[in-house]
Structure 1
Amino acid sequence: MAYVPPHRRVKASSSSYRRAQASSSSQTPILYYLPEADIDEGSAVFIWFAVDANVNPPPNLKLEFKPFADTSIPHMRDKKVYTISVHSHPVNDVKNDVRSLMTNETSPWRYTLKKIKDDLRKCFHKLEKYIEVSEPYYAKPSFTARFGKIIFHGHGLAWHESFTLETLEKTFSGQRGLQTPSKTFDTNIPKDIFEAVKEKAIISFASPTLKEKVAYLIWVRDVFNPDVAIMVTCRKKDMDGNQIVLKKIELVTLKHLLTDTSCLNKLMDWRLSVTEKYMVDLHEEDKECIEGIVKSACIDVSARGGLRWPPGVLKRNRFQVREVCILNVTTVVGKTWDIKFQHANKVHLEDSSACRVSNEIDLKLKSISKYLRERRQWEEENIMNILEDSLKWVWMEGLSII
């Protein structure tokens, strides 16, 4: 049985577990199997705010909610979802952005740091204690910035009416604990924007190092412990073969801090996250079961998720395959942070219609992640400088793609 440390154990009757169950009981299947019940009640922090070239938009700024036409998110296909926009400025006017930044004392990225600094400091201190408790098991925290689009799907909110920024901020202010159901961060980037940002990243780095890889991810459910999701990362066994081999086994990412920022008059938004993966050693019998599932898989580029199994092999003893994904990743390696461009083909095997192909862009803030993993003291000035440098690039380069 996979080991779950005391601070991760949650009773099935807890309110957080009931909410996770309730969200999964809708007629449309949920694509992502997230261990929300593993998050201690009130421990995770979720923040939303908006910025534009004027840094802090006025509270009475009128917002328009536009229908979101992309139906690539399986569990949202039958919902009315919206993005927000503002009419006051031309969309993605880079010259206006630069001129506005020159007349303001701060900038969108510095304003973001100011908004999250206190929560980030608390998150670092809390993670240090989590990692200490987890020994000798290995906790792997990460700090990431993601490109995407914030989608609103409200409950009891009249999105068709005219909203101000102040109204929306009150809706999401002071949230702690599980993520609100009225907002989703879509990580799928349109192909033309994805390729443009990739080209810009390669050009903007001095003598960039590019790394390419193909990874196969298998999400396995422990039928005896269904609130714990296990992610199995695999790689191709031979260059010319069609078999995969196990690389590592982790508990699925746990959230500690999520900061969603709507970038008004930009084509994309961003998310900052502090997450944690939990590395565990399974009993030999359990590991053999998972290895058996991996060895039975065959690479099939025509199959959803990139893998297929013979009939009846998706389950061994207590473990059952729930989702599979093939990732084609190109990483632009930097000094303090890397940019990952990945094409993901993911399918939920319990419902073949819950399949998604997406292009995703992540900034892996490896220098800050190193602080967390080495449990070094909070060095606010150094960490904020690294974060400011990366978010400046996101705003001025990544979000300025036409």
Structure 2
Amino acid sequence: MAYVPPHKRHLKSDATSSSSSSITPARKLNHKSKTINYVYAENAKWRWLIVGLANESRIPDLTLLHPVSMEFFQQNSGENPPPLTLMLKEIGAKNDYMENPWLYVAKTLKQDLLFSFQEVNKLMKGFEFGEIKPSLVARFGKILFHGDRSISLESINGSSLPLDTMKRLSRSFYTNIPPSYIERITSEFIPKVDFKFEEEKQLYNLKISDKMRPDISIACKCTVAKGTNKLELYKIGLNQVRHLVADMSCLGKNLDLRLMLFTKKVSVALTDEELEDMKSMIESAVLDSEVEGGVRWPLGKQSSGDRYTVIGVRYMKAQTYRNSVMKLNVRCADRFDYRSSHRDVAEEVSLTMPGIISQLREQNVNTDLALEMLKKNMELIWKNF
């Protein structure tokens, strides 16, 4: 059965309510959210920046917290009141704004980047070449503010707050991009910066728990086998580990930005019997466009014996473009977590930076070159997104 994107599905009237309430707006920016657990390295760095103003003291004068546009935020998310986003409330003088915001980003994150680069480089030296795969990714979306126990959204809606107060608020990074923006990227941005189409692919990513190793989860990339319409194991590894997350509220821009450095272990030591058990569990899946994530299992087939269990699934249809320094990914993702019944549906855009990552593979990391490459990449992003 062909996969039908969620926004094009025709739901029965009695299913609309339950389906709508299962869609949540974002993944929480904490180490262990109510819905999805993320793995952070022991010395991971985590930053939030406001980018665009020349003087931090002018933040309360020129910004306010405003309900996020419904173009970005799914109205049926179930969150009431809707979260807030940071925006300019008035146009300041020319000297209120940074001339080159990308230089500020590189300067502010320099020490965290250098530390994280060195940590990843040390990690890679402890494994065989190619066993640890690092990635540096810029993702586009909106930083949403959800208040906290002492500050309600109603009390700060439309308010201008000091930076220290905003830092206390719970935040999330919402990656769903409006269709109009996706269209602008494909029709304007891609030709302008000389990106060339590389490939289009459809994958089902399964997240599998292992009772023998409860501290990790196994990531299985699967394709659809021709002729059988069944899932087929393509790659197996461990879920990503985050080393640096830097979220940026980009004033004067339509989108905010997340810069993230993470690693994946791309091989898992399994016996032939263990691998066959996992393949059998994967191949028993039934493709079904009417369910979350596009996959379901017959009763009792979602687990393999007492050891492996599918705890999450993500369907992804992605188009990849590449130029000499970066790779652009435009994708539709439909994620579902079986433990929490949390669903996340999004049209997403991200840029990976393989040129910078190549420096991490060197015996001695050329940090000056890596930072210079980051400045150029951030300049391209700021001027074109």
Q: Structure 1 residue aligned with 2:89, among 87, 90, 98? A: 87
Match for 2:295: what amino acid?
L
Q: Structure 2 residue aligned with 1:370, among 353, 358, 367? A: 358
The offset of 1:232, in angstroms, is: 0.7
Hey, what does 1:144 align to over in structure 2? Answer: 137
Hey, what does 1:298 align to over in structure 2? Answer: 286
Hey, what does 2:316 align to over in structure 1? Answer: 327
8 Å CA contact 2:31–2:37 kept in 1: the answer is no
Matched, 1:274 2:272: no
C-alpha distance in 1, partners of 2:357/2:250?
25
The offset of 1:382, in angstroms, is: 2.3
The offset of 1:72, in angstroms, is: 7.4
Hey, what does 2:205 align to over in structure 1? Answer: 217
Hey, what does 2:331 align to over in structure 1? Answer: 342
8 Å CA contact 2:195–2:323 kept in 1: the answer is no
Hey, what does 1:35 align to over in structure 2? Answer: 39
8 Å CA contact 1:56–1:111 kept in 2: the answer is no
8 Å CA contact 2:195–2:322 kept in 1: the answer is no
The offset of 1:337, in angstroms, is: 0.6
8 Å CA contact 1:150–1:185 kept in 2: the answer is yes
Matched, 1:65 2:62: no
8 Å CA contact 2:195–2:321 kept in 1: the answer is no
The offset of 1:130, in angstroms, is: 1.5
C-alpha distance in 1, partners of 2:238/2:54?
38
Hey, what does 1:355 align to over in structure 2? Answer: 343
8 Å CA contact 1:33–1:229 kept in 2: the answer is no
Structure 1 residues 383, 168: closer, same or farther in 2, change over 3 A? farther
C-alpha distance in 2, partners of 1:195/1:303?
27
Matched, 1:243 2:230: yes
Structure 1 residues 391, 357: closer, same or farther in 2, change over 3 A? same
The offset of 1:141, in angstroms, is: 1.1
Hey, what does 2:79 align to over in structure 1? Answer: 77
* Secondary structure at 2:253 match in 1: coil
* Secondary structure at 1:140 match in 2: strand
For structure 2, the residue ranges without an aligned partner over 5 or more in a row are 1-29
C-alpha distance in 2, partners of 1:86/1:235?
45
Match for 2:260: what amino acid?
S
Calculate the TM-score normalised by the size of structure 1. Answer: 0.77
What are the equivalent positions in structure 2 for 1:59-208 lying under 5 Å apart? 59-62=58-61, 63-68=63-68, 70-71=73-74, 77=79, 81-89=83-91, 106-135=99-128, 138-155=131-148, 156-157=150-151, 160-161=155-156, 162-168=159-165, 171=167, 182-206=170-194, 208=196
8 Å CA contact 1:201–1:332 kept in 2: the answer is no
8 Å CA contact 2:319–2:329 kept in 1: the answer is yes
Structure 1 residues 207, 266: closer, same or farther in 2, change over 3 A? closer
The offset of 1:351, in angstroms, is: 5.0
What are the equivalent positions in structure 2 for 1:10-21 lying under 5 Å apart? none
8 Å CA contact 1:234–1:244 kept in 2: the answer is yes
Matched, 1:286 2:283: no
C-alpha distance in 1, partners of 2:39/2:76?
19
The offset of 1:193, in angstroms, is: 1.2
Per-residue deviation, residues 337-388 of structure 1 (Å, max 9, x unmatched): 1110010011223455x2222011110101112222x234232332223222
The offset of 1:73, in angstroms, is: 9.5
8 Å CA contact 1:220–1:230 kept in 2: the answer is yes
Q: CA RMSD in A?
A: 2.9
Structure 1 residues 333, 300: closer, same or farther in 2, change over 3 A? same
For structure 1, the residue ranges without an aligned partner over 5 or more in a row are 1-18, 25-29, 91-95, 173-180
8 Å CA contact 1:211–1:333 kept in 2: the answer is no
The offset of 1:45, in angstroms, is: 0.5
Identity, in percent, stands at 25
Per-residue deviation, residues 42-79 of structure 1 (Å, max 9, x unmatched): x1100111112x555544533322234635797x8367
Per-residue deviation, residues 301-359 of structure 1 (Å, max 9, x unmatched): 3332122322211000211111111111011111111110010011223455x222201
Structure 1 residues 349, 256: closer, same or farther in 2, change over 3 A? same
8 Å CA contact 1:228–1:251 kept in 2: the answer is yes
Task: Give the paired residue count.
Answer: 346
* Secondary structure at 1:227 match in 2: coil
